[in-house]
């Protein structure tokens, strides 16, 4: 899969799936599927490249000046796209020049002239151009002037709720993993490398793997979760795009996400305790798939009380994972 941050280096001609695609939820996948299918059925399918066109940084990050926490940081997004039939990902630099483009100029200069798009797929709520003044219907009308078909994919509904990145964020903030995972179409995942921590867990019989996560990763409600863990290996995360998509036996585990108030922790940590497994995980990359929320973070009166609660958490995780 070809990845570029410069539209001038994109491979053409293309069929385009256009959007931010943070989280790559079920609605996003429908938009992408439309572009992939268009390339497959086109009379010139041998030369049309199914291409995801997205923005970097996220437009909200550009306008607010604050880092945008992402459901799918760069490497996760690329890994997920790599097995959806996408041949190319074009990250359009979202800067003042991009923000100032009129809808007409965006379509003509980028989609038609540079990407040579023969087909474009977007979601029903897609907006683009200066001050987001262009709608999906505007895109259809403008593209039609150049003979380019635009498919507008209807918003998808799950449990009487619109599927959106915002809805997934809200569910994660509440610890509602069943809903978040349903909207995503897969378990929400934390991917990071195991680094050395204070090693307090092993002193109370529960050695944990301390995960170093991407700083822009959106984190769910602090607390304890039942999870399944894939051990991906000891390569850097950015070299493991394909490994995130391999079928493997996931290991049952418990995740603690928070500040560890019982031991006077002063920074956020993500610690994983693998049930019924022993070994050296330092330097390994783990993919932690969140299954259910067990309890909120709390401070205990002693390490013995914490130890007793961890035993209860492990039992709760086992039961939860056996049922899932």
Which pLDDT belongs to residue 267? 83
Q: What is the pLDDT of residues 116-158, one digit of tens each?
A: 999 999 999 999 999 999 999 999 999 999 999 999 999 999 8
Percent of the chain beyond pLDDT 90? 74
Which pLDDT belongs to residue 52? 98
At 253 the three-state DSSP class reads: strand
Which pLDDT belongs to residue 242? 47
Domains of the chain listed by start with CATH number: 2-155 (3.40.50.620), 157-186 (no CATH), 187-323 (2.40.30.30)
Dist CA 11 CA 87 (whole Å): 10
At 320 the three-state DSSP class reads: helix
Which pLDDT belongs to residue 239? 43
**CA neighbours closer than 13 Å in the CB half-sphere of residue 290:** 30
Instruction: Indicate the pairing of strand 127-128 with strand 134-135.
Output: antiparallel
Torsion, Cα 178 182 187 188, to 10 degrees, reads -90
Which pLDDT belongs to residue 205? 67
pTM above 0.95, yes or no: no
Peptide bond before 57: cis, by omega within 30 degrees of 0? yes
CB atoms within 10 A of CB 53: 24
Report residues of the chain scoring pLDDT below 70.
44-46, 198-205, 235-249, 262-266
Which pLDDT belongs to residue 206? 83
């Amino acid at each position: 899969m070809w990845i570029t941050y410069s539209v001038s280096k994109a491979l053409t001609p293309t069929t385009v799936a256009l959007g931010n695609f943070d989280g790559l939820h079920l609605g996003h996948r429908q938009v992408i599927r439309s572009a992939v299918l268009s390339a497959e059925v086109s009379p010139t399918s041998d030369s049309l490249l199914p291409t995801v066109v997205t923005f970097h940084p996220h437009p909200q990050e550009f306008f607010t000046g604050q880092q945008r926490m992402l459901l799918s940081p760069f490497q996760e997004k690329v890994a997920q796209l790599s097995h959806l039939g996408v041949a190319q990902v074009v990250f359009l630099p979202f800067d003042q020049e991009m923000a100032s483009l009129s809808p007409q100029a965006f379509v003509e200069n980028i989609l038609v002239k540079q990407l040579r798009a023969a087909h474009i797929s977007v979601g029903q709520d897609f907006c683009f151009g200066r001050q987001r003044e262009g709608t999906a219907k505007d895109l259809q009308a403008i593209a039609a002037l150049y003979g380019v078909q635009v498919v507008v994919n209807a918003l998808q509904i799950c449990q009487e709720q619109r599927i959106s990145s915002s809805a997934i964020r809200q569910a994660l903030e509440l610890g509602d993993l069943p809903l978040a995972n349903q909207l995503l179409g897969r378990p929400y995942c934390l991917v990071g490398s195991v680094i050395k921590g204070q090693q307090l867990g092993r002193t109370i019989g529960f050695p944990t793997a301390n995960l170093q996560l991407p700083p822009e990763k959106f984190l769910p409600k602090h607390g304890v979760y039942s999870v399944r863990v894939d051990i991906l290996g000891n390569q850097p995360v950015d070299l493991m795009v394909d490994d995130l998509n391999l079928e493997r036996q996931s290991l049952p585990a418990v995740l603690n996400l928070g500040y560890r108030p019982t031991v006077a922790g002063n920074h956020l940590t993500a610690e994983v305790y693998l049930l019924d497994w022993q070994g050296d995980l330092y330097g390994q990359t783990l993919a932690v798939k969140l299954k259910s929320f067990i309890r909120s973070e709390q401070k205990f009166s002693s390490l013995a009380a914490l130890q007793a609660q961890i035993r209860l958490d492990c039992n709760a995780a086992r039961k939860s994972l056996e049922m899932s």
